[in-house]
Amino acid sequence: MNTTDTQHQTRMQRKKEVVDARIAEAQEERGVLILLRGNGKGKSSSAFGTLARSLGHGQRGGVIQFVKGRRETGEYRFFRDHPQLDWHIMGHGFTWETQDRNKDIEAAQAAWATAEQMLQDENYHLLVFDEMSYMFKYGYLDTAPVVEALKKRPRHQSVIITGRTMAAELQDVADTISTVQDERHAFRQGVKAQPGIEY
């Protein structure tokens, strides 16, 4: 080995010690609450990717889409027939599309009723509440019963909640929070939303 290679090896040995020590410290085993927020592209897709990961280990998953009402999305087509997964499309479109506050509230409450049942069902390893955060932003759901149900859920159950803005009460009880920041988006450069990328 030449000097560069030896230096590299020494540096990496040191790095490995640091990494190993951190891994040794994290030994608690339980489900986690993950919040994916921010204005950037990649929040819902990240939740669906984690779902694939979970299903790959033979775990059972549940998805509730709080806003989307479309059934022709790639994600729904791809996942809908999976035997270990329950997928509920309970939104009926963005609130600026529906323009009807009362119907929005009705849809939100029906979605939450389903979500609440899932949070009591220990068969589910991973739940995805896609775009749920808009329900709090528009005042369609209260945070208190949601936080309560999240706290009481089965210990091994993980939950991912997505949406641009995230209620403070949810952040208080989250284990992992990632903010996805929009640095650049093809849409603003005139590229049309396309199947397989945006939906």
Q: Which of residues 83-122 bind a copy of itself (CB under 8 A)?
A: 94-102
CB 23, min distance to a copy of itself, A: 8
**Which of 69, 76, 86, 88 is close enough to bind a copy of itself by CB under 8 A?**
76
Nearest to 93 by CA among 118, 76, 71: 71
Binding range to a copy of itself, per CB under 8 A, among 25-33, 62-70, 109-117, 141-149: 25-33
The C-alpha atoms of residue 118 and residue 63 are separated, in whole angstroms, by 9
Which of 63, 146, 158, 163 is the binder for a copy of itself (CB under 8 A)?
A: 158
Output the six-digit token pair for 1: 């080995």
User: Which residues, numbered 131-150, are part of the site for a copy of itself (CB under 8 A)?
Assistant: none
Residue 165 near a copy of itself by CB under 8 A: no
Q: Which residues, in sequence order, are CB contacts of 73 under 8 Å at separation 6+?
A: 199
Please tell me what DSSP assigns to residue 192. Answer: P
Please, which residue, 100 or 142, has the CB nearer to a copy of itself? Answer: 100
Residue 155 engages a copy of itself in binding (rule: CB under 8 A): no
Rg, C-alpha atoms of the chain: 20
Of 72, 44, 8, which Cα lies nearest the Cα of 134? 44
Among 78, 117, 148, 165, binds a copy of itself (CB under 8 A): 78
Q: Which residues of 61-85 are buried (b: 16+ CB within 10 A; e: fewer)?
A: bbbbbbbbeeeebebbeebeeeeeb
| 48 makes contact with a copy of itself (CB under 8 A) | yes
Asked whether position 173 contacts a copy of itself by CB under 8 A, the answer is: no
Q: How many residues bind a copy of itself (CB under 8 A)?
A: 84
